[in-house]
Chain A
Amino acid sequence: MTDYWSMVFVFVLATFIGLGVIRRVSRLLYTPLMSLTNAISAIAVVGSLAVAGADHPTSIRILGAVALFASMTNIVSGFLITYRMLRMFKKQ
């Protein structure tokens, strides 16, 4: 039996941390922020991996593999383009 309330609790606390941290993000960096959070929210990779890799029927594993591909694309392109953009910000 899962303790659902602790999950909700984690969600609420994580949201407040998120709001606090994001509010301090430099306004110059909103575009890289968005690509960075894209990559981070591709944490759906964890769920996709479990569906694609476990001993499930093939049809379900196909759904998982497509989801894994989509998440992985976001991770790779998200982190790379964030880094690429951040390298462009120079003081002089």
Chain B
Amino acid sequence: MTQAIAQVAAIAATALFIFALYWMNDPKTARRGVYAGVLGMAVAVLATWVQPQIVHHGWILAAIAAGFVVGVPLSRVPLTAVPQRTALSHAFGGLAAGLVGAAEFSLWLREGPGGAQFTTFRTSALVVEVILGFLTFTGSLMAAGKLQEVRWIPQRPVTYPGQNFVNLGVLGAALVLGVLLVLHPTAPAARTVFPVIMGLATLFGVLLIIPIGGADMPTVISILNAYAGLSAVAMGFVLDNKLLVTAGALDGSSGLILSIIMCRAMNRSFANVLFGAFGTVQKVKVIGEQKEWKQESIEGAAQLLEQARLVVIIPGYGMAVAQAQHKVRELYDQLTKRGVTVQFAIHPVAGRMPGHMNVLLAEANIPYTALVEMDEINPEMSQCDVALVIGANDVVNPAARYATGSPIYGMPIIDADKAKTVLAIKRSKNPGFAGIDNELYVKDNTWMLFGDAKQVIGDLVKQFAGGGLH
């Protein structure tokens, strides 16, 4: 009877999870997706809980209560901190998979002679589960630390000679030991080998993230997302549980698709992101003569904006750092009130995780209909009167089109330079994350506004609101 309940619950939960993701295809139906997900999870948990072998209810209640105590505050972080919250939750997912794997292994050992549990399939799945679980755990913790700018984790990529050799060596050692364990699961050494595999995977997670810089975080978070899903799939194979397999596969495919989109948006491969140490400052030869910046005053910029018909705002991570999104919304209001059409051009890798800019702008109450993807806005850029670049750099650098030596060569960009006029807000005259000079800033039709993004936009809004213009 309880067995049947578990089977029906697994089917129902899988269907609900698929609907949850399906409803995410439109902001209008997306909230329904959350309800479906919650219902699916509740069904799955209850159906497991009522199984007769579950006897220690106090432990379960305590762990669930602790999960609420930590989970509720984690859901209330400011939206600029969502990337690190996401990385942290990948870490928790990896940890859960790793620990359940470790528990299963010692249970199998206890079952004693013959090691009937250790079939080739299940042992292989177990090895995959703990390797993926623990490397996702530490890798995601490192990524969260870098995003949170924790003091003892270096922000800039750290590289050293032979780094890839060391990293692959550690992973290779874990895999070789894993294969040995699969071949000889009941050998006396298995008890020692298993924790060593766990340790190597834990170490590999740290080593993997050390050489990765901020600009690569959207891709890395997506890859870790896929790993967390796949470790759940492996757990499903180990525990012979189809619900774990289906839900894990849904998460894994989501991570995979997002990783592909992020890689494509940077014109790079997975291997290049993980082992390429992007973000190290690379000196690129300056092409042609060195040109000067041209600075624009707030009054002049306000005038340009007011006379425009179409203004395209191109936000980048700098907008999030300066917390300028609410001021941007005020500027949006002032301009639309004057009959100016304002659109936002969103590059897929703008920010620190997929979709980051959209969430920040939505939080500032900017209607999502004004948020336009790169591929849709680029054909319109020649009709754009003013392109306003706020804290974005590499995603508007025209060098990506032709500078073959540049690390961003081939990366699709937002064609800000095709607008009639470009206004770029920049905190300082330093290059962006990729460490590359941006020739957009010295083009004939570009005018710079130096200063903190929030301050500059605020001053622009004051110009409009104060009646300095009419």
Q: How far is the CB of B470 from chain A (nearest CB, A)?
A: 27
Q: What class of interface size applies to chain A in its complex with B?
A: 35 or more
A53 touches B59 (CB 8 A): yes
B54 near A49 with CB under 8 A, answer: yes
B204: CB under 8 A from chain A? Answer: no
Contact with B along A60-78 (1 / 0, CB 8 A): 1101111111111111111
Residues of chain B with a CB closer than 8 A to A51's CB? 100, 103-104
Tell me the A17-76 residues at the B interface (CB within 8 Å).
17-19, 21-57, 59-61, 63-76
CA distance A85 to B14 in the complex (A): 24
Contacts of A88 in B (CB 8 A): 359, 362-363, 365
Is B38 engaged at the interface, CB distance under 8 Å to the other chain?
yes
Q: Which of B61-69, B291-299, B305-313, B413-421 contacts A (4 or more CB under 8 A)?
A: B61-69
Interface presence of B248 (CB below 8 A): yes
Taking a contact as CB atoms under 8 Å apart, the answer to whether A37 and B21 are in contact is: yes
Given contacts A34-B225, A68-B67, contact A63 B100 (CB under 8 A): yes
B62 close to A81 (CB less than 8 A): no
Q: Judge whether B211 is part of the interface by a CB distance below 8 angstroms.
A: no
Which residue from B28, B31, B67, B229 sits with its C-beta under 8 Å from A41?
A: B229
Complex interface: stretch among B78-86, B150-158, B278-286: B78-86
Interface stretch among B188-196, B249-257, B424-432? B249-257
Q: Are B363 and A79 in contact, CB atoms less than 8 angstroms apart?
A: no
Please determine whether B368 and A90 come into contact, CB atoms closer than 8 angstroms: yes
Which one of B75, B95, B122, B239 lies within 8 Å of A70 (CB-CB)?
Answer: B95
Instruction: Find out whether the CB atom of A89 lies under 8 angstroms from the CB atom of B362.
Output: yes
Q: A21-B22, A49-B60, A63-B103 are in contact. Are A39 and B41 (CB under 8 A)?
A: yes
A10 touches B242 (CB 8 A): yes
From B236, which residue of chain A is reached at the shortest CB distance?
A: A7
A-B contact pairs, 16 of them (CB 8 A): A18-B252, A22-B258, A23-B257, A26-B25, A27-B355, A31-B355, A36-B20, A40-B247, A51-B104, A52-B63, A64-B100, A72-B71, A75-B71, A79-B34, A88-B359, A88-B363
State the A residues within 8 Å of B (CB).
2, 4, 7, 10-11, 14-15, 17-19, 21-57, 59-61, 63-92
